Chain A
């Protein structure tokens, strides 16, 4: 039984980079959608995970113009940005309006109210959103890339490796990878989720 850790490393790398890169455009979108009706926010998450797989094929396929795992990151961003926007919108909405009103009356322009007041006050819900986005990108987007038959050089994303390990009768390696990925997901969610109950007093 030999465990190839490369797929786990690749999946983590793709999910982490996509999550971090999605924060700025996602939160910008969240701020823009703040005043719109809920329908606008719902539209923002319409792109299904399978679209990411399709996008990956287009980007990294035979006629694609992006090589390597960058294609996977770009594909994952397609999923992560709307999700950050949706969850970030809820997080920003949880900040009491009185803080923003006082900040404005003290002479702060909109961007400063956002960076100095709304964002710091919504930091815990946003951190939870980051955990959720990371988990979703790691799991669901990995699956979509698998469906799309996405392959990168010598390695595959985790789900593809799991399928091959099971099919080739190497159940031990598959189990170790499943335990490893589950542990990563649980730690990510536990770390972010626990912050909900330890929010700074307002």
Chain B
């Protein structure tokens, strides 16, 4: 278990102010560049001293501003995986692993290194230096070195950034394995939403030094807490609307979106005349060929662009509306010339 409650104000005026708990499993720190994700990892690892707050690793206080406790990085037992892995180029694979166990008895060191070499399929490369082994082996060595000393937490700072797809998949598999074998919290920094969903047991959305929302990645995709979160996730259609009618009895509402009127559910806490953003995922929208008069919530929109994705097709319409269809559905629809985009009323979330 890791508990973090820290605040640090930098000379530039940037303030890092985060508070979270994470148990065994992968907690993803997701957000744009400059959000404070790496600074948070640095504070946990001991490379950044916060002005206020407390950090507990495995119920041990490693930092407490009030009690003036600030353990140095070497005493915190954090496995740290950095972009590029920072494997020591002058040491062999075996020596890289030995480095992490220097304080252990000699026999134990040898046993653990041999076990780890075998477990991570590195035995044959043990005598080579990192630049002499394959990219996959380097990856395995990096993870092996980070976990061989039985850290209290594994910190992963966007280490998969820039990797080719097979290597990225391999790295994800290694992290899942590490989570399973070691039963420790893994804090993973990423800007890649797919990685967040692929690996995250929990996700924290950060922006400008603050946590905007936390929860299971699926929750974020279903119920973004704010417009900021919805924009950061970048997976939603966001429609600026004005509330025209609210009917709590029938659990319904009518909103004006440009020249169109859309029907939606009742929005508690909102009033007539309020300007809000409606958020709806591209996969929740339906596409119909235009025939006759549109029904409620069916809006004729001009198709601007079609993007073929590996498993689906993304259709970009005017007014920044995006619809995502399965390939089969797209094949059925693609002969049409004009389309109606249907907004299912219950799919709307007001932000």
List A residues at the B interface (Cβ < 8 Å). Answer: 96, 98-99, 101-109, 112, 116-117, 120-121, 123, 200-202
Contacts and interface: CB of A to CB of B under 8 A. Distances in A.
A2 B39 CA distance: 70
Interface of B: 45-47, 72-80, 82, 84, 86, 88-90, 99-100, 102-103, 131, 145, 149, 155
Given A101-B80, A101-B82, A201-B131, A107 B74 contact: yes
| Residue of A99, A104, A105, A201 most packed against chain B (CB within 10 A) | A105
A165 B31 CA distance: 75
A105 B74 contact: yes
A117 B88 contact: yes
Contact of B149 (A101, A107, A121, A123): A107
A82 B78 CA distance: 37
A200 B90 CA distance: 8
B100 A107 contact: yes
Nearest to A109: B74
Contacts of A116: 99
Contacts of B102: 107-108, 112
B89 A103 contact: no
List of 8 A-B pairs having minimum Cβ-Cβ separation, nearest first: A98-B86, A105-B80, A104-B73, A106-B100, A201-B131, A102-B86, A120-B90, A202-B89
Given A107-B77, A108-B99, A101 B47 contact: yes
B89 A201 contact: yes
Contacts of A105: 45-46, 73-74, 76, 78-80, 155
Contacts of A202: 89, 131
A109 B102 CA distance: 11
Report whether over half of chain B's contact residues are helix, strand or loop; otherwise say mixed: loop
A88 B196 CA distance: 43
Nearest to A104: B73
A202 B82 CA distance: 15
Interface of A is mostly: helix
Given A104-B47, A105-B45, A108-B74, 10 more contacts: A101-B73, A101-B80, A104-B73, A105-B80, A106-B99, A106-B100, A106-B149, A108-B102, A123-B90, A201-B89
B74 A104 contact: yes
A104 B149 CA distance: 13
A96 B89 CA distance: 12
Nearest to B76: A105
A121 B155 CA distance: 24
A102 B82 contact: yes
B45 A121 contact: no
19 contacts: A96-B86, A98-B84, A99-B88, A101-B80, A103-B88, A104-B47, A104-B72, A105-B46, A105-B155, A106-B74, A106-B99, A107-B75, A107-B77, A107-B149, A108-B74, A120-B90, A121-B88, A121-B89, A201-B89
A81 B89 CA distance: 29
Contacts of B145: 106
B73 A99 contact: no
A98 B82 contact: yes
A92 to B, nearest CB: 15
Contacts of B77: 107
A88 B142 CA distance: 29
A130 to B, nearest CB: 18
B78 to A, nearest CB: 5
A32 to B, nearest CB: 18
Contacts of A108: 74, 99, 102
A117 B102 CA distance: 14
A152 B223 CA distance: 87
Contact of B103 (A98, A107, A120, A123): A107
Nearest to A119: B90
A131 B89 CA distance: 24
Contacts of A101: 45, 47, 73, 80, 82, 86
A102 B90 contact: no
Contacts of B80: 101-102, 105
Contacts of A98: 82, 84, 86
A65 B164 CA distance: 69
Contacts of A201: 89, 131
Nearest to A105: B80
